[in-house]
Amino acid sequence: MSSSDDTALREQGTEFMPKFDSNGLLTAVAVDHASGALLMLAHVNREALDKTMETGFAHFYSRSRKALWMKGESSGHVLRVIEMRVDCDQDALELRVEAAGPACHTMATSCFYRRVVSDGTLERIVD
């Protein structure tokens, strides 16, 4: 199969063909299933993707620790995956989740709890 056939299948077909980057990762965003709010951004490798699909709970790959981790494994703030979506070229995932507590390790509902103001400072967003 040529690379153009592979691209056409990936972009238009019905087969899940994740396109991992040169480090073996996909970008994954977790979105609250009910509200649509962006909760967090992380990365998954093949093992994390397989664990997520097998268990129904979000697993990620920590680039800093170089290790697999399940979101909420120590805090209990797990992310139950309701639906997994893939972008057009299958190199990014949207995990529609139900969160059992704050998504951010800072205890904020979302990791995106600050906005950049025009003067370059950060302003906390009130939930």
Tell me, letter by letter, the H, E, C secondary structure of the chain. Answer: CCHHHHHHHHHHCCCCCCCCCCCCCEEEEEEECCCCCEEEEEEECHHHHHHHHHHCECEEEECCCCEEEECCCCCCCCEEEEEEEECCCCCEEEEEEEECCCCCCCCCCCCCCEEECCCCCEEECCC
Query: Would you say residue 2 has pLDDT above 80?
Result: no
Is 111 annotated as contributing to ligand binding?
yes
What digits encode the pLDDT tens for the residues 31-47? 999 999 999 999 999 99
Q: What's the predicted TM-score (pTM) here?
A: 0.89
Thinking of the domain 19-124, which architecture would CATH place it in?
Roll (3.10)
pLDDT for residue 7: 86
Query: Would you say residue 8 has pLDDT above 90?
Result: no
pLDDT for residue 80: 98
Query: Would you say residue 118 has pLDDT above 80?
Result: yes
pLDDT bracket for residue 9 (50, 70, 90): confident
Q: How many whole angstroms separate alpha carbon 2 and alpha carbon 78? A: 41
Average pLDDT of the segment spanning 4-24: 90
Is 21 annotated as contributing to ligand binding?
no
What digits encode the pLDDT tens for the residues 62-112? 999 999 999 999 999 999 999 999 999 999 999 999 999 999 999 999 999
Is 89 annotated as contributing to ligand binding?
yes
Domain segments of the chain as ranges: 19-124
pLDDT for residue 123: 96
pLDDT for residue 5: 77
